[in-house]
Structure 1
């Protein structure tokens, strides 16, 4: 699919993926894929794209190139580079504030690097996909999944066991605010720290919170929930 097929995508169009990937089967900006969570968790995806008018779970919002000097450093360097360059395109595609985005099923993105066979042929791409995810489940998305406000269709809720789920199904807690987390609390203190920041920001005690599973520091956000 050509980039003109999906309006408003940000990042490098497929024709600008040059160097090592020139003339090879690099991913295309705006293509769709129908992948399970387990498939999304893999470092590479060689499955063909699907028609965005059919059932799919991801949309490619950026295609970049891994510099050869980074590639030669090994897997961890490639993965770190991929995660870093997908950050901005993920937020730019949706075009909403990070504090709104983090309360939704689209709060995370997935990225892929070339398979061994592709790399041997010279491919050095990074493919950045957005998906609707709640825990270890991903759900079909629209050809254009963007939104402008928090609704049950896009919000990410929690059930009574504090596991993420869709808000359009049975749930116990609904997100209503996000707070900045400038530093990582001591292990085991995350919930208490986020809870205090939610109370200070919203003026009320909250029954449930969530916080980053991975990165902390500048830009890290926690989410405040009410009982729904």
Structure 2
């Protein structure tokens, strides 16, 4: 964004409403980009300020780099590792799509419209993580997920509960890669790299705790999930049940 291979977030205005999305902050020849780099992720503060000045003094949006409670930080990293299906240290567009197709199967079984799910999460990746669909590092994932959490509930205790539930759901979704009835052709390159062959191996997140927090699935005697319809997801990535 700010320079080759560096991620950032730009500010644009759509009908008077500020929007923030990953995009290039430096225009190519003959191109005009309305916005400025906020310096989020790996952009240097100096470069962010330089673009800020060139944009006419629009106020910089604070970066989401401030540390959060240790337990929340640990869960954010765990959630990133769960999404990083091939374990290469970066989140790829196809990984986000694959994991969330499994989440949809957990929620709706084989009645899930996976084409809609795939389109949704490809669009989410390009609108919120990388506009070209390139793999993103943990810091970009962390920044976006914190935005999601803050939008749902800024209370640290609520965010702790939400991220715990996100991790439970992601563990369950990963386990579906090893369930033949939920297998797909796109899984062939992913399954050999997964380190979670069953629910029981996903300690400390055990499938038997799942019905207590979301009723996303009931668990059979062999740890195999039996999908049941639940309320559709309403926010990106994974969504916890509403707070009472």
Same fold by TM (over 0.5)?
no
Which TM-score bucket, shorter chain as reference?
under 0.3
TM-score if structure 1 supplies the norm length? 0.26
Q: Which has the higher strand share?
A: 1
Q: Which has the higher helix share?
A: 2
